[in-house]
Chains A and B, each alone.
Chain A
C-alpha cells in the first residue's frame, strides 16, 4: 500500500490526507467541478477531477472514482464518511479492481447497513434492541402496537436522513412518504421501518477498532445527544452519566455486535440510553465517524492511522489493556445553516475566515477564505474540538475557541453552538436527544449589536480604498485565484 485515493471531500478528506502523509503514503484527492481548488484537493499530492457537481455524477460515482484511482496509480481507497463509505457495493468494487479497501469487510457493511438485518444479527449476539416493527402491510396497526410516538427510519439509513418522528396516527402516512422520498434520494433505497420513540434518551456510542489478526478493542464511549434533524452537532467523551458498571456493559455489548459481523477497521456502535440506565442498540456505523477527534483526544490513539495500518494487514499493535482515557473532550460541528430558520442550509462564497487556536484546541477544517460552500453537498464546514482535564475546562476551552472563530459569507451555526455550550442544563449535563427542541426551539442570535454596529461604522468611515490598494487589487490576484488558475492549467 503506497498511494491512497480519498473518495471524499471537505474536512474528512483533509484529515485522511494528513494521516497518509504522516505514515509515508501518498494521497490522491478527487474533486467535482464544484470543488476545484478546494482545501481537500490542496492537502493531497495530486487531485483528480471526477465529474460535474451533483454527487451522483462525482463523489457517488463508483465508475468515476475507480477510473481516478487507476489514472493516479492508487493502490488503496479510503472512503471517509458519508457518500460511499457505507456502500458494500463500492467496497466490493474496490477489491474487485485489485485495490485495498480501507474499511471493514464489505459483508459487515452490508449487514449493518440494512438496519433490519443489523437488528436481527445483534439481537442474536445478545445485544438489547429498541422495540421496532417492519412496515409491510398495515403500518398504522404496527405503530399502534409499538405505541405512539414512533420513529420512521430508513432501512438503508444513517446521518438522520429518511427519518421522521410521528406523534399520532394521523401524521403517519405523510411521515412514511417523506422519509421514503428522502431515503430514496439519499440511499437509492426507499424502504423504511418503525421504532418506538424513547422518552428523553441520551445518544451514547462506542468506538471500536479491530484488525485482521483477531484483535478487537473499544476506545470508550461518546455522548452525542445534542442533535438537530436527528444529526449530531455537539459530542463529548466520556458520557457524563455513565457509571463504570454501565460503561463495562455497553462496551461489552458493542464488542459483541462488532464481533457478530466479523468487524475490522474503525466502527461505531450506537445506543440509546434511557433515564433508568437501560440501553438499546440503535445501529452500527461502519466507517470512521465525524466525531472521532474527541476519542483521539482522550485516548491518544489516531483512529485514521489505525485504519491505514489495519488495511495494510498489520496488527493493531495494542490491546484493550493499553487503551486508557484521560480528561474530557468536546466537539462542535460548524455547519453552514441558520438555526433561527429551521436550520436551513446556507451556501455561497466564504468572504473571510478566522480559525481558532490555543491550548487543547483542535480544528478539522474543510474550508478556506475565497472558497465556496457548494449547494450540492452536506453543509458541514469543519469541526472544532477541545480537551480539558475535566468537563468544565473542556467546555470553557471550546467556548473560547468558538468565540475566536469567524466565518463571513454563508450563515453558520457558530453563535448557536456557543449558546448551547453555555446553557445551564448543558453545563449540568442534563442532555437528551430532544435537548435542542426543549431549550432552543425559539432561539435567536443575540450578542452585542452596538459593538457590531460601531465596527461597521468604523469600517465604512475608513478612507476609501487608496491608490496603492487599488493597484494591488488590479495587479495581484488573491492567492486563491492564483491557485485556481494553476490547477486549471495542471
Chain B
C-alpha cells in the first residue's frame, strides 16, 4: 500500500508491504522494518476527528504515537513532537506555492495598525499590518515584493482567520 503525505511544501511517499508479523516499509525510498505492536481504540473527537494511540516498532526501536485524523489532515505526536500531514488526492500534486501575494489573517483578531497603503511598493519582509490576537500584537509581513493593489485591513476592525487583508501584485 502506498500513501502520500504532504508536509509543508514537500510530499512524502510511504509504502507498507506486509511481511512476517510486520511490514517492509519505505519512506521516500528509504527502507524501514515496521511492526504495529498495539493499537488503542479509535475514538471520535471534536469536529468529527478520529483519535487513536499506536505503539509501533521502527527498525527495532519502540515508539508511542498519538494520531488524530480530521478530514484530509493526519496529526501525529511522537516523542513530544507533532507533525501535521495532509493525505488524500491533493497530497500528490504540489500546491500552495510559497510566497503568495495575498496576505491573510492567520487567526481571528483585531487590526491594530495598517502600515502601508494601496499603491505602495513593498519589499519582502516589510511590515504591512499589525494584528492583535490573544492579547499580543503580531506583525504580518510581505512574502513577495511588489505593489499593494488592495488594502482591506482597517485599523480597529475585527478579522476572521483566513480573511485576505492585503493583496500584493508581484513586481
Q: Which residues of A contact B (CB under 8 A)?
A: 161, 178, 181-182, 185-186, 229, 341-342, 344-347, 349-352, 354, 369-370, 372, 375-379, 402-409, 411-412, 414-415, 418, 445-462, 465, 469, 473, 478, 480
Which residue of chain B lies nearest to A379 when distances are taken between CB atoms in the complex? B134
Asked if B135 and A349 sit within 8 Å, CB to CB, the answer is no
Does B98 have its Cβ within 8 Å of any Cβ on chain A?
Answer: no
In the assembled complex, the CB of B113 is this many whole angstroms from the nearest CB of chain A, namely 7
Asked if B80 and A418 make an inter-chain contact with CB atoms under 8 angstroms apart, the answer reads: yes
Question: In the complex, which residue of chain A has the Cβ closest to the Cβ of B58?
Answer: A451
| Stretch among B26-34, B116-124, B144-152, B163-171 lining the A interface | B26-34
Inter-chain contacts of B50 with A (CB < 8 A): 465
List 6 contacting pairs A-B, 8 Å CB cutoff, sorted by A.
Answer: A342-B138, A351-B45, A447-B81, A449-B7, A454-B56, A457-B5
Q: Mark B31-67, 1 if CB is under 8 A from A, else 0.
A: 0101010010111111101111010101000010111
Rounded to whole Å, the gap between the CB of B154 and the closest CB of chain A is: 15
Pairs of residues from A and B, 8 with the lowest C-beta to C-beta distance, nearest first? A406-B77, A455-B65, A345-B134, A403-B80, A447-B81, A349-B46, A452-B83, A351-B68
Contact at B133–A345, with CB atoms within 8 Å? yes
B1 on interface, CB distance cutoff 8 Å: yes
B residues whose Cβ falls under 8 Å from a Cβ of A = 1, 3, 5, 7, 12, 14, 16, 25, 27, 30, 32, 34, 36, 39, 41-47, 49-52, 54, 56, 58, 63, 65-70, 74-83, 85, 87, 106-109, 112-113, 130, 132-139
In the complex, the chain A residue whose C-beta lies closest to that of B52 is A459
Q: How far is the CA of A454 from the CA of B45 in the complex (A)?
A: 22
Task: Determine if A375 and B77 form an interchain contact, defined as CB atoms under 8 angstroms apart.
Answer: no
* Alpha-carbon gap, A454 to B74, bound state (A): 12
Are A181 and B113 also in contact (CB < 8 A) when A351-B68, A414-B82, A459-B67 are?
yes
Contacts of A408 in B (CB 8 A): 51, 66, 68, 75, 77, 82
Bound-state CA distance A369–B50 (Å) is 12
A406, B66: Cβ atoms closer than 8 Å: yes
- Cβ of A469 and Cβ of B5 under 8 Å apart? no
Knowing A178-B137, A408-B66, A454-B56 are in contact, say whether A344-B74 is a contact too (CB < 8 A): no
| Residue among B78, B108, B134 having the largest count of chain A Cβ atoms under 10 Å | B134
Q: In the complex, A469→B41 CA distance in Å?
A: 9
Q: How many angstroms from the CA of A462 to the CA of B42 in the assembled complex?
A: 10
The docked-state distance in angstroms from the alpha carbon of A414 to that of B82 is 9
Q: Tell me whether B82 and A453 are in contact (CB under 8 A).
A: no
Distance in angstroms from B25 CB to nearest chain A CB is 6
A453 touches B135 (CB 8 A): no
Give the docked Cα–Cα distance between A346 and B133 (Å). 9
* CB closest chain-B residue, reference A354: B66
Closest to B88 in A: A460
Chain A residues with CB under 8 Å of B66's CB are 352, 354, 406, 408
Per the bound structure, the CA–CA distance linking A459 and B55 in Å amounts to 11
B119 to chain A, nearest CB (A): 22
**Complex contacts, A453 vs chain B, CB 8 Å:** 5, 7, 12, 14, 27, 76, 83, 85
Query: Which B residues lie within 8 Å of A469 (CB)?
Result: 41-42
Looking at the assembled complex, report how far the CB atom of B77 sits from the nearest CB atom of chain A, in whole angstroms: 4
Contact B46 A455 (CB under 8 A): no
Q: List 9 extra interface pairs beyond A354-B66, A415-B81, CB under 8 A.
A: A182-B112, A370-B45, A375-B107, A448-B78, A450-B30, A452-B81, A452-B85, A453-B5, A478-B43
Contacting residues, chain B, for A446 (C-beta < 8 A): 81
Contact A455–B51 (Cβ < 8 Å): no
Interchain CA distance A414-B32 in the complex, whole Å: 27
Give Cα distance in the complex from A81 to B85, angstroms. Answer: 37
CB neighbours (8 Å) of A412 from chain B are 82
User: How many Å from the CB of B171 to the closest CB on chain A?
Assistant: 25
Take A375-B133, A379-B134 as given contacts and tell me if A458 and B78 are in contact as well, using a CB distance cutoff of 8 Å.
no
Known A-B contacts A375-B134, A462-B39, A465-B42; the reply to A456 vs B34 at CB < 8 A is no
Chain A residues within an 8 Å CB radius of B139:
342
For B18, give the chain A residue with the smallest CB separation: A461
